Amino acid sequence: MNTSDSSSADTRIGRTTRRQRHAVRLRRLEVLRTVYLTPSMRRVTLTGSELDGFTSPGFDDHVKMFFAGPGQATPILPTLGPDGLVFPRTGPQPLGRDLTPRRYDPIARELDIDLALLHDGPASRWAAGARPGDPAWVAGPRGSALVPFDFDGHLLIADETGLPALARRLEELPAGSRAIALIDVDGEEDEIPLVRPAGAVISWVHRHRDAGDHGAAMIAALRAIALPEGDCYAWIACESGLAKRLRSVLVDERGANRAWVRAHGYWRRGAVAVHDDFDE
């Protein structure tokens, strides 16, 4: 694997998140198949010989996919320089969006990406129309965070955009892990089956109950939920403003250890291509 390890081996023991860097490649892949997981989420399985050497050891890794803009037959692409992707200095820019490698099978040469179809943007539009044989351009991941398993409990909070990473984490947690997941979706029809350690508690929160106050149902659910006892690692990925509020509820109201709370904005209302981190 084309990986340079900036830390010691991936033991995931102890409480320190280890970081790995990977040499960036820009791969031309193609759509193998698609399936609707729910009315609001489509899984696109990509394949191609350029997948060889792909690696994604961290549950919340991301790749950058490049999409064609309105009126473009093919995407504008960055080039690859010695330090990674190089974007044009002037003129039209590549339309890149961050997405989670949901599953990678090196033997079958398959990479699954689960895309939310909730809004009017290039990634969402591409996913809604993707057909077998369509080309797809994928760069990265350029790095991974290897979050230890060695906590008394794991709290995972996400909306549809964070759900692929959340689902990966639940699958990767060792048997016997105590895990709680709080997931924000529009309604019951947007829930998906999740492989998880026995005893993990999954709470689906339905956004249509927000009654105009975005995130109100998630905030109320987090205030009410019984948190795992002992040292708990909390991971949040959803709309940026809500991620910040949920982090504040956890740390300021629920007494969570701020060192073990990681809050990410995976998108922001009215903005494009956002990746916010609210860690301290």
> Which residues bind to ligand FAD, rule: CB under 6 A?
62, 97-100, 114-116, 118-124, 160-161, 164, 266-273, 275
Triad 38, 164, 220: Cα angle to 5°: 80
Closest approach of ligand FAD to the CB of residue 187, in Å: 14
In order of 199, 222, 228, the CA distances from 178 in angstroms are 7, 17, 7
Q: What's the per-residue H, E or C state across the chain?
A: CCEECCCCCCCCCCCCCEEEEECCCEEEEEEEEEEEEECCEEEEEEECHHHCCCCCCCCCCCEEEEECCCCCCCCCCCEEECCEEECCCCCCCCEEEEECCCEEECCCCEEEEEEECCCCCHHHHHHHHCCCCCEEEEECCCEEEECCCCCCEEEEEEECCCHHHHHHHHHHCCCCCCEEEEEEECCHHHCCCCCCCCCCEEEEEEHHHHCCCCCHHHHHHHHHCCCCCCCEEEEEEEEHHHHHHHHHHHHHHCCCCHHHEEEEEEECCCCCCCCEECCC
Closest approach of ligand FAD to the CB of residue 236, in Å: 12
Which residue in the shown chain puts its C-beta closest to ligand FAD? 121
Closest approach of ligand FAD to the CB of residue 272, in Å: 4
Closest approach of ligand FAD to the CB of residue 238, in Å: 8
- Residue nearer to ligand FAD on the CB measure, 120 or 229: 120
- Residue nearer to ligand FAD on the CB measure, 161 or 177: 161
Question: 162: closest CA among 135, 183, 144, 177?
Answer: 183
CB 123 within 8 A of CB 67: yes
- Residue nearer to ligand FAD on the CB measure, 119 or 258: 119
Closest approach of ligand FAD to the CB of residue 171, in Å: 15
- Residue nearer to ligand FAD on the CB measure, 55 or 150: 55
- Residue nearer to ligand FAD on the CB measure, 254 or 275: 275
- Residue nearer to ligand FAD on the CB measure, 42 or 178: 42
- Residue nearer to ligand FAD on the CB measure, 158 or 221: 158
Closest approach of ligand FAD to the CB of residue 199, in Å: 26
Closest approach of ligand FAD to the CB of residue 123, in Å: 3
